[in-house]
Amino acid sequence: MKIVNRVLLTNDDGFDAPGLALLAQAAGEIAEEVWIVAPSQDKSGVANSLSMRAPVRVVKRGERLFAVYGTPADCVAFAIRQAMQDTPPDLVLSGINNGSNLGFETLLSGTVGAATTGMLLGVPSIALSQNRDPDNEVNWDSARHHVVKTLRQLLQHPWDKQVCLNVNFPDIAADKVKGIRVTAQGMGKVDGLTVDATRDPHGEDYFWIRVQHGRLDRPANSELKLNEEGYISVTPLTFERTQTNEYQRLATLYRQDF
């Protein structure tokens, strides 16, 4: 049964990514009309970046299909304000990402950045990611078998306009998934960055920047903890990032009139 009229799909892994193809198949089961506006190539790690100082080139790949030479946020902006301006989407789905977007990873993620851009433009938005072991090939089994069921569950009840949802499928076989849980973001599994130097054939140095994973605290309600226990985690995210306790403490220390 179709439950939405028109859905916009995007991602940060690129137009031809397998996770986007999987999401398109799922979207066809819940939406009357599916649009895909995605980066022409991998744009992982660009967060909410918008191309403010450069033109954005777009290539039409087919009916309701566009490859954008820009970021995931560019894709959502172009789709809602140009390609779909006369027939706006009822829903933005971003993903399914090849790898998790848990905790600190959400601040880097172009997948999540696209969803927050959809939220900014007034469209209900969901980011979806498939957790994986970084040393092994991604196993799409969990997402493939549960994405439609998850979307139907989430779309039963509307959420606040200043919130987008961040969904992560656990890295386990589909029949081992225990269910869906609403979670808090937490710190996730990123505890630093590595910068590795190497040299090209011309003798010039260049560098690879990568996130570093560690064993951080896993609060009982955190998305990483529940995801590792076999649940599909659903975290409501918003733009407000003020740490309330520290705000109150510092407000009493730094208050001064001039």
Report phi then psi at 77, rounded to 5: -60, -45
Cα separations (Å) of 224 from 91, 134, 151? 26, 15, 20
How far apart are the C-alpha atoms of 47 and 115, rounded to whole Å? 10
Q: Is 12 annotated as a binding residue?
A: yes
Helix (H, G, I), strand (E, B) or coil at 198: strand
Residue type, 103: G
CB count within 10 Å of CB 72 equals: 34
Q: Is 222 annotated as a binding residue?
A: no
Query: Which residue in the block uniquely carries the two structure tokens 């991604």?
Result: 138
CB count within 10 Å of CB 63 equals: 6
Q: Is 13 annotated as a binding residue?
A: yes
How far apart are the C-alpha atoms of 11 and 227, rounded to whole Å? 21
Cα separations (Å) of 168 from 25, 62, 175? 18, 30, 16
Nearest CA to 8 out of 98, 124, 154 is that of 124
Residue pair 123/5 in contact (Cβ under 8 Å)? The answer is: no
List binding-site positions for a divalent metal cation. 12-13, 44, 97
List binding-site positions. 12-13, 44, 97
